Amino acid sequence: MANTIAGVAVGISSATPRLSQRPISRSSRRFSTVKMAVSLDEKKKNFTLQKSEEAFNAAKELMPGGVNSPVRAFKSVGGQPVVIDSVKGSHMWDIDGNEYIDYVGSWGPAIIGHADDKVLAALAETMKKGTSFGAPCLLENVLAKMVIEAVPSIEMVRFVNSGTEACMGVLRLARAYTGRGKIIKFEGCYHGHADPFLVKAGSGVATLGLPDSPGVPKAATIDTLTAPYNDLSAVEALFQSNKGEVAAIILEPVVGNSGFITPTPDFLNGIRKLTKEHGALLIFDEVMTGFRLSYGGAQEYFGITPDLTTLGKIIGGGLPVGAYGGRREMMEMVAPAGPMYQAGTLSGNPLAMTAGIHTLERLKEPGSYEHLNKITGDLIQGIIDAGKKAGHAICGGYISGMFGFFFTEGPVYNFDDAKKSDTAKFGRFYRGMLEEGVYFAPSQFEAGFTSLAHTPEDIQNTIAAAEKVLRQI
């Protein structure tokens, strides 16, 4: 089902693309956006990061590492980060005036394209009524209903403010519901930065090669058991040695935080079976995959229903949001319906609800996922072909609007395999692509994202740039 190229060979979907995205209004842009008219060489000649460098040097005096989230600092790819001025559709502009085709999408939320006109208009309307109520509002009902209708496992939902919060809440709920303490997570999977999850974690922890973080008390992680991704026998062994103690397995149903890694065909089914056999809950952390792999997330895509699900990113349409949900009898344990405490000053914020509602409405339009699948398939195939032609060991894959590639022959089944990638080469590729006007996630261990606003021209320009850079590195 997953499309993996030159790693685990699986066919590319033949879904017909329907390029139904609206043209992007560029009237307010300060910079030229006619990408085809600007040659790659011309672009490189004009490329300067002087203002970004000045701003980042100032930022380093003000904020740890100059950033508010570690991977943004470009530590693993070398050089300094670009400081962004504005975004629209599939493109970003930095403060030096450089334009980029963006494959980060604010780390996932921008699936319909940045600064969508309808989302902006709806936000402006909501804002007239205020920015935060701290009390129930109708918009919460609307988004909750949309989420419940879309995601198979969710009968009731609680909104929070980030994916981290969603994972913290769902873990407490799993422990409260089962009366058990231990959890199983997978090496290289990231579930936010709460203490119990900072064990062999992915994302920035993997990117920076950090051991498990100082400051996390032993007591917080003693009940966190880990196994390699795609390894059912390791999970079975953990259940055997911790009989009756495991509350839940939490996993990314497709990994995006050690690079892009898909589950093998029997892995998710096997995990579902094992959790049932051992009386443990299955939690899909769909903060990244929710509404991205399909409208109903990975669980709809793979046809496997977990007990509990976390969401974030897309359901906030670019504003801070997270959510967790599951079967009614479990969710009714959450305060004030039940005794499990969890709360939030800004939870259910009207602006976040508005952006989420309009993002999901746009995604629901026919052809959305066919478009994502088509352009992402073309993109990754083009990059892999260019890499192989230039003589590099390279493999990669994609599902809908999520993709990744590694500088190794593959196959990549887990984080240990991912670490075989030539990260120094990735760094050189990264810097080269940046100068050609392509912005990937600044780490080998992060997935990439496309959006409904990405056009075939974006993809062709990216592949042309990749061909050039891959010949040079």
Ligand X SMILES: Cc1ncc(COP(=O)(O)O)c(C=O)c1O
Residue whose Cβ sits closest to ligand X:
163
Q: Which one is catalytic: 100, 103, 177, 190? A: 190
**Sequence-distant (≥ 6) Cβ neighbours of residue 300 within 8 angstroms:** 150, 151, 152, 293, 294
Q: How far is the CB of 213 from ligand X (least distance, A)?
A: 15
Please state the φ and ψ torsions of residue 295, each to the nearest 5 degrees: -60, -35
Closer CB to ligand X, 337 or 343, in the complex: 343
Q: Is 75 a catalytic residue?
A: no
Residue pair 271/235 in contact by the 8 Å Cβ criterion: yes
Closer CB to ligand X, 414 or 455, in the complex: 414
Q: Is 243 a catalytic residue?
A: no
Total interface residues for ligand X by CB under 6 A? 17
Closer CB to ligand X, 150 or 463, in the complex: 150
Using CB under 6 A as the binding rule, whether residue 292 contacts ligand X is answered as no
| Helix/strand/coil (H/E/C) assignment for every residue in 102-144 | ECCHHHCCCCCCECCHHHHHHHHHHHHCCCCCCCCCHHHHHHH
Residue type, 77: V
Rounded to whole angstroms, what are the CA distances from 252 to 8, 48, 206, 311, 326? 19, 38, 15, 11, 16
Q: Which of 55, 288, 379, 433 binds ligand X (CB under 6 A)?
A: 288
Closer CB to ligand X, 251 or 363, in the complex: 251
The footprint of ligand X on residues 170-229 (CB under 6 A) is 190-192, 203
Query: How many other CB atoms are found less than 10 A from the CB of residue 324?
Result: 34
Q: How far is it, in rounded angstroms, from Cα 473 to Cα 471? A: 6
Q: Which one is catalytic: 75, 313, 374, 425? A: 313
Q: Which of 81, 253, 297, 312 binds ligand X (CB under 6 A)?
A: 312
Q: Which of 21, 52, 164, 400 binds ligand X (CB under 6 A)?
A: 164
Q: Which stretch binds ligand X (CB under 6 A): 81-89, 129-137, 162-170, 344-352?
A: 162-170
Q: Return the SS3 of 81.
A: coil
Q: How far is it, in rounded angstroms, from Cα 164 to Cα 143? A: 20
Q: How far is the CB of 262 from ligand X (least distance, A)?
A: 14
Tokens of 100: 């980029």
Using CB under 6 A as the binding rule, whether residue 257 contacts ligand X is answered as yes
User: If you write DSSP's letter for every residue of 296-317 in order, what string do you get?
Assistant: THHHHHHT---SEEEEEGGGGT
Q: Is 116 a catalytic residue?
A: no
Q: Which one is catalytic: 94, 96, 116, 285? A: 285
Q: Which residues bind ligand X (CB under 6 A)?
A: 107, 162-164, 167, 190-192, 203, 252, 256-257, 285, 287-288, 312, 322
What is the set of active-site residues? 190, 285, 313
